[in-house]
Amino acid sequence: MAIEKMHISYNEIHQAIADCVEGKDVYESFKPTLIIAIGSGGFIPARMLRTFLKAKCGKSLPIQTIGLVLYDDNLDKYDPDTAVVRKTQWLNYSHGEGTGISLQGHNILIVDEVDDTRKTLSYAVAELTKDAEKQRHEYEARRKEGEPEWQQPKLGVFVVHNKIKDKKGSLPADVLESRYFKCMDVPDNWIVYPWDALDIETHQQRADERRAGERAAKKAKVDGDQ
């Protein structure tokens, strides 16, 4: 059986992020100070998100990027159960030329377009947690008397779509309970994002047709319940 495709438009993503920031008090409850976008699907949502967070806090939050891929040795057929996460790009913590990043004290919002198997998000949170612990040890080793103690960073997750399915990865309980922000739950379908489209007009048409079908189905259900 073929997997149903869901074509999603830029406007839908833009509005979904706006509604999530407002409706779920993303800034008020977490007060993010740093955005980390998972490439490449998290790039555009992260930039949209920054616009709505700026409306809350009055400043543009910095965006850093990391690259993660799910790699499968089976080249004939990708299998999410056996695929493993690999880094293609990571944060620069070096202090050599003033470009080094310190995680200390930051409320870090990790952004991706979709929570599918959760493997990628799980990996990102775990690796950033290890990086923060390493930075803490280094900071404490060089901290002099009278200098402030290490301020532990907090990690949160923001996704446009959460697929309703059993997850292969996991997130810490405190993240899931209060720092996991999802714009919407969706079925486990093949989501086609607009940044992957070769023909954006055709993509938009298919997104419009899907939305029209959803509205018609919703109306039919309401009429049937009356």
Q: Which residues are catalytic?
A: 116
DSSP tag of 98: S
In a 3-state reduction of DSSP, which class is residue 1? coil
Copy the structure tokens of residue 196: 């992957």
Contact 21, 220 (CB under 8 A): no
Calpha distance 22→77 (Å, rounded): 40
- Print burial letters for 13-37: b (CB count within 10 Å at least 16), e (below 16): bbebbbebbeebebbeebebbbbbb
For 8, 160, 215, 216, the CA distances from 190, given in Å and listed in that order, are 11, 14, 20, 21
What residue has token string 């509205």? 215
For 98, 101, 132, 133, the CA distances from 95, given in Å and listed in that order, are 6, 8, 15, 17
Contact 27, 21 (CB under 8 A): yes
Burial class (CB in 10 A: 0-12, 13-18, 19+), 212: exposed
